[in-house]
Amino acid sequence: MKKYIAFLLFGTLAFFSCSDLEEHPVGVIRPENFFNNTDDLQAAVNGAFANIAHNNYWGREFTIALMLRDDMSDIGDRTTQAARIDVNDMSMNDTNALVANFWPQSYVIITAANQAIEGAKKTPGDPAKVNAIVAQAYFARAFAYYHLVRLFGDIPYIDFVVNDVKQVSSITKTKEADVYPKIIADLEFAKQWLEDKPKVKAVPGKGTAAGYLSSVYLTLGQYQKAYDEAKFVITNEAKFGLGLDADFQDLFNANKTATLKEPLFTVDFNNLTSGNYGQDYTAFFTGSLKDDSYSYGQGFSVAVPSLKVFNTWDQRDYRRAVSFDTIIRKKTGPGGALQVYPSSDNEKAPRPHIAKYFRFPGKAGANGRTSQHNYITMRFAEVLLTAAEALNEINPGTTEADGYVNRVRARARNKAGKLVSFPANVTPGLSKDAFRKMVVDERRLELAFEYVRWYDIKRLKIGPEVFGPSGLEPHANFDPNKDYLWPLPGTELAINPNLKPNNPGY
């Protein structure tokens, strides 16, 4: 940890201007010479969000690790780097390269948020306006810590600006149980002060904070609070500019996501083309090695569903067609025209691939790595399913809980404007256990390949089941005493021995 904090202390943070996150670097900035007005504060806040759209975080190292860890995405091409295979196969250790990259990037996000939060204390202007802006930084900090605590358990918790390296030389891990109240406090502040309806979904609003609060409480098994927060979002969906978009496919079309109402928060890769910012590999990681339709080269066939994931998904479900691609495109004939072939022709991973990210990728840069995507980190459908799951735990058998799932299923029946009969509404009167099983599986299908499934596996402690012999992706070596937590990077423990010991088994 020390080296990353030291780097941030003596190095340069990239601060950006404009509240709509159209980022433009403004040069080297030192905090003591900054925060002269609310525009400065907004620029500092935007720096935290820009650091989310980084090669070491969203779009590559972090998201590919989350995707590979669950039971929906397996390794397709096993000649890919060992770090990815180890995450997928439950054989990672404290030298894993993915963790070694996204761990420090998480603290870059947190440090930028801390700078903004500290800077807000000396920013002149209307206190209400200052609070509305800095609330975005509180959300960014909670966002990063919420991911960290779920993956690693006890973690270093830093909520201050580091002015001297000595400040971090004695930092220890904060207990997982003590991290969650800090995340909740940040989200409560954000919920109080954020705008009802920001101009763009890359800026969090009240509904964003409440949606994440509902998720936190669901993770903690505090079902009444999870329901209350989700219900708050649902009751105010029009006020917050939220709801379900009509066509499921539109959620994964880079040309349309900026205008959708369903996202609670998006990671905006537009206009981030400096260094490793805006470097988006998601389409390539999930695309076929034999597919020539990319602007640069082919796909990588890294995160590819097992055939069982595809075969067990009811083919009447429109979401299945949106989520998978069963063809590859080869440049053949005069002019290199694209011809369509079955996905079985893919020699590395002869099975359907994930289509959510590469079917409609929008405009890509000359090197094929920049992106037009606004990646959705949470959407309204998840809030509906959270409300349903939480309410079932409080008061089983309600028509209200059925109705939340039915809204999601009704949208799934809208197949590009043509109504179909599947999936049917929830069977009324399900038992508590039957409803729980149903809604968890509904989350698996609705949110497939959207970085949610691993967290559901962990919070529900269903690893032995989903990775067992009858699971979608069997892993005989899955160990519930070890594999629900990931290892802290060994380099961090070597730099600061106060962070020892590592998580059990590592």
Look at 92-96, 294-298, 436-440, 489-493 and tell me which has the smallest mean pLDDT: 294-298
| CA dihedral over 87, 490, 159, 268, signed as positive or negative | negative
Q: What percent of the chain clears pLDDT 90, i.e. is strictly above it?
A: 75
**376-410 CB burial, b ≥16 within 10 A, e <16:** bbbbbbbbbbbbbbbbbbeebeeeebbebbbbbbe
pLDDT greater than 50 at residue 334:
yes
Model confidence band, residue 483 (pLDDT cutoffs 50, 70, 90): very high
- Nearest residue to 90 (alpha-carbon basis) of 452, 454, 434, 445: 454
CB 298 within 8 A of CB 287: yes
Is residue 337 over pLDDT 90? no
Angstrom distance (rounded) from CA 382 to CA 266: 14
Helix/strand number for the chain, H first, E second: 18, 10
Across 229-243, average pLDDT: 98
Distance between CA atoms of residues 178 and 156, nearest Å:
11
Q: Is the pLDDT of residue 14 over 70?
A: no
Sketch out the chain's domains with CATH numbers: 2-239+484-499 (1.25.40.390)
Does the pLDDT of residue 89 top 80, yes or no?
Answer: yes
Average pLDDT over all residues of the chain: 90
Residue 370 has pLDDT above 80, yes or no: no
* The pLDDT of residue 16: 29
What's the average model confidence in pLDDT over 173-181?
98
Report the half-sphere exposure of 293 (CA within 13 A, side-chain side). Answer: 19
Residue 15 — pLDDT band, cuts 50, 70, 90? very low
The C-alpha atoms of residue 291 and residue 301 are separated, in whole angstroms, by 10
Does residue 395 have a pLDDT over 50?
yes
Whether residue 7 is predicted with pLDDT greater than 60 in this model: the reply is no
pLDDT at 499 over 80: yes
Output the pLDDT for position 291: 83
Mean pLDDT across 221-245: 98
Residue 323 has pLDDT above 60, yes or no: yes
Quick check: 92 pLDDT over 50?
yes
Give the residue-averaged pLDDT of 39-62.
Answer: 94
Segments of 4-125 assigned E as strands: 74-75
Identify any residues that bridge with 342 across adjacent strands, giving them in sequence order.
327
**pLDDT attached to residue 77:** 93
Query: Residues near 196 by Cβ (< 8 Å), separated by ≥ 6?
Result: 205, 206, 207, 236, 239, 240, 241
Structure tokens at 118: 């500290």
**Dihedral Cα 466, 471, 474, 477, nearest 10 deg:** 40
The SS3 call for residue 328 is: strand
Place 290 in a pLDDT band, splitting at 50, 70 and 90: confident
- pLDDT for 166 equals 74
pLDDT score for 271:
66
Q: Tell me if 319 sits within 8 A of 248, measured CB to CB.
A: yes
The torsion defined by the Cα of 131, 136, 141 and 144, in degrees rounded to 10, comes to 170
Give me the pLDDT at residue 415, please: 93
Q: What is the pLDDT of residue 211?
A: 98
Closest CA to 382 of 206, 218, 204: 218
pLDDT at 278 over 90: no
10 has a pLDDT exceeding 80 = no
In contact, 84 and 64? CB cutoff 8 Å? yes
> pLDDT digit string (tens) for 457-474?
999 999 999 999 999 999
Measure the CA–CA gap between 374 and 196, rounded to whole angstroms.
20
| CB < 8 Å & 24+ apart, contacts of 470-477 | 471/71, 472/71, 472/72, 472/306, 472/308, 472/309, 472/312, 473/70, 473/71, 473/72, 473/74, 473/306, 473/308, 473/309, 475/89, 475/90, 477/89, 477/90, 477/91
Write down the pLDDT at residue 273: 64
What is each CA distance from 231 to 237, 400, 419, in whole angstroms? 10, 11, 28
pLDDT of residue 27: 39
pLDDT of residue 24: 40
- For the segment 24-44, what is each residue's pLDDT rounded down to a tens digit? 433 345 666 789 999 999 999
Asked whether the predicted pLDDT for residue 5 surpasses 90, the reply is: no
Q: Which residue's entry shows tokens 């349309």?
A: 256
